[in-house]
Amino acid sequence: MRTFPTDITCRRATFTGDIGGCPTIARISTSLDLHSREFLEDPAPTLRWLREHEPVHRSPYGYWLLTRYDDIATAFRDPRLSSEWTKKGSLPGVSARHGGVPDLEDPFVRAQQVVLHSFNMKDAPSHTRIRRLVQQAFSRAAVDDQRQRVTGLVDEMVDRALASGSIDVVTDLAFPLTITIASEMIGIPVEARDRFRASFEDTERLGDPTATEEQRAAARRALVWQLDFIGHEVTARRREPRADLVTALVQAEEHGDTLTHDEILAALLTLYTAAGTTTERMISSGMLLLLQHPDQLALLRTRPELIGGAITEILRYHHPNQQTTTPRLALEPLEMRGITIGAGSTVRFALGAANRDPERWAEPELFDITRPELVSLSFGQGIHYCIGAPLARMQATIAIDRMLVRCPALTLAGDVRHDPRRMDRYERVLVDVRG
């Protein structure tokens, strides 16, 4: 029987070879604590080691992590790996430990139950029904309608940058752009946007096993507030429709089928995350990658038609969340690479590792915007392919393209800081626009 360590702090992996295209690095020792500051600041070496030596990894925090492209691509479509966590209580041997009737008088428990109505937390056929109705409101045409607005916002931000001589691509570009577009599409009033966005910073802690009790309490309060706030907006749109996503979801109907109140609330939380916070990371990390690879930046300036390939390569090379996706629930025992994953287990997918799998891409540690376009896993696969992918790509394409066109002498100003709240993203990337 294979056993797994429980001492998170002392387990380390040591390997040799080139990392990130740097042949001078001969030896790296890295923690296998996938929630440590060390890992989150630079996840690639650890993910590479796991992909090569332990592709089906049992985390000391209790979940399984997959790191190889083929395994994850298959897992995305495996019906035995469920997104519907309400099924956990019905699994043999699990219901006795985790079952029970939820106390809907508790505001946080009630909020949790609402979140479970999100289409990304459902399997077919429920997922199919909800997503089809949500897709009516969040259609490609609705996304294309935002193109002019996105371009105008980016140009306003670049104007200010050219006047001042510098721009922080996180706080002066990626953050205000994506939050403004997401808020306008959903219909969040201007005066509530900062608090609404900040509440997502808190709720992210709900899935963090290293969070303190104080952080978890703040996360619970934030989720309750979010759903209360959105609930009031949905009720208001039923009385007085507007030209926004809330109204579109309220009015969505097909063959007499409509979304329930809870399904609308959960969909709005999901769409805001897709349209806002994830895209923010994509734009800021993309600009940083290009600035850190001046040969690729120069090539893109010379051949602007490569912008589509550049966005694809940014997503492959630096997925906005390097470690995982929405976790899956094993409905029955699974055999993967000779290892049994028990029913009721949590399984996560390391997209950052899969997107650098040498079995899939030649020289995967090389950032190359001319790379032949193969399907990465950045937006998922199967029925849960990211509904916000077209909007994310469109915003990133316009933001990066307009920056390059209007600022011909971009250089890093030397001030790049990780976000202390989430070390897998940046808090500050200062850029000199005058060279």
Task: Summarize pLDDT for 302-360 with one digit per residue, the tens.
Answer: 999 999 999 999 999 986 555 556 789 999 999 999 999 999 999 999 998 999 999 99
Q: Which helix (DSSP H) or strand (DSSP E) does residue 271 occupy?
A: helix 261-272
- Name the pLDDT band for 208 (thresholds 50, 70, 90): confident
pTM of the predicted structure, to 2 decimals: 0.86
Residue type, 359: E
Q: In this predicted model, what pLDDT tens digit does every residue of 239-256 receive, in sequence order? A: 999 988 899 999 998 878
d(CA 220, CA 211): 12
Q: Is the pLDDT of residue 15 over 50?
A: no
pLDDT beyond 60 at 24: no
Measured between alpha carbons, how far is 115 from 101 in angstroms, rounded to an integer? 17
How many helices and strands (H and E) does the chain possess?
18, 14
Q: Domains in the chain, please, with CATH?
A: 12-432 (1.10.630.10)
What pLDDT, on a 0 to 100 scale, did the predictor assign at position 18? 36
Half-sphere exposure of 396 (CA within 13 A, CB side): 32
Q: Would the pLDDT of 57 be above 90?
A: yes
Which pair of structure tokens corresponds to residue 351? 């997209």
Residue 336 and residue 311 in contact, taking contact as beta carbons nearer than 8 Å = no
pLDDT digits (tens, 9 = 90+) for 184-193: 988 888 999 8
**The predicted structure's pLDDT at residue 304:** 95
In this predicted structure, the answer to whether residue 414 has a pLDDT above a threshold of 90 is no
Greater confidence, 232 or 324?
Answer: 232
Out of 128-137, 190-199, 303-312, give the one with best mean pLDDT. 303-312
What is the average pLDDT value for the chain, to the nearest integer? 85
Q: pLDDT digits over 171-182, tens only?
A: 999 999 999 999
Residue 19 is predicted with a pLDDT of 33
Q: pLDDT band at 16, cuts 50/70/90? A: very low
Identify whether the C-beta of residue 13 lies closer than 8 Å to the C-beta of residue 53: yes
Mean per-residue pLDDT, 377-389:
89
Residues in the chain: 435
Q: Are 289 and 21 in contact (CB under 8 A)?
A: no
Query: For the segment 93-111, what is each residue's pLDDT rounded down to a tens digit?
Result: 655 444 456 667 889 999 9
Strand 81-82 to 339-341 pairing: unpaired
More confident residue, 81 or 421: 81
Which of 70-84, 308-322, 420-434 has the lowest average pLDDT? 420-434
